[in-house]
Structure 1
């Protein structure tokens, strides 16, 4: 049996605008990857994310009850977030008031 008959890879062909291809090539070079490896990895990550978003979450009745108990508790302030929300936004600070 020839190598071609044993091969389990399947070609994928795309037509892309030059600008898209340029940014893909640039990103691939920055990662030290080939265009094919970069596009394959990006496509697999996107596909896995979609699949994981559609999977049901399974847990035991006890685990579900514990989860619901935590959700039912009153909200507690997170001190770091409270402090961050008290500070003015960067666009609200004038040049002389920067900290």
Structure 2
């Protein structure tokens, strides 16, 4: 008698228009991935986004008040971001020819 092994992969099948398959294949090639890997990663990422967006956060009234007070407090400056904002954009800097 052979031991039953638990299935780890489950096949999925879908019907797509040729134009959808063509764009998926093109994108997968650009990423150096197979169609299956590309579609699986995209589907899992989309599912994770939906689940993260639909998560319910529960907290006590005291915790909510603390949360709101943190949001309402003035933001503390981040020195690296202040320097970045003050730095001229690349298109604002003079070029080698002085323009």
Identify which range, 49-58 or 84-93, moves more after superposition. 49-58
Listed as ranges, the gaps of 5+ residues in structure 2 are 1-6
Alpha-carbon contact 2:24-2:39 (below 8 Å) kept: no
Provide the C-alpha distance between the structure 2 equivalents of 1:19 and 1:8, rounded to a whole number of angstroms. 24
Provide the C-alpha distance between the structure 2 equivalents of 1:88 and 1:59, rounded to a whole number of angstroms. 44
Q: Which aligned segments of 4 or more residues in structure 1 are displaced greater than 4 angstroms?
A: none
Aligned: 1:12 with 2:14: yes
Listed as ranges, the gaps of 5+ residues in structure 1 are 1-5
2:46 is matched with: 46
Q: Return the offset for 1:23.
A: 1.9
- Greater share of residues in helix: 1
1:80 is matched with: 80
Provide the C-alpha distance between the structure 2 equivalents of 1:19 and 1:91, rounded to a whole number of angstroms. 38
Q: Return the offset for 1:93.
A: 0.9
Alpha-carbon contact 2:25-2:35 (below 8 Å) kept: no
For residues 27-76 of structure 1, give each alpha carbon's deviation from its aligned partner in whole angstroms, at most 9, with x where no partner exists. Answer: 45x24xx3123202211211220232133222233332221121121222
| TM value normalised by structure 2 | 0.67
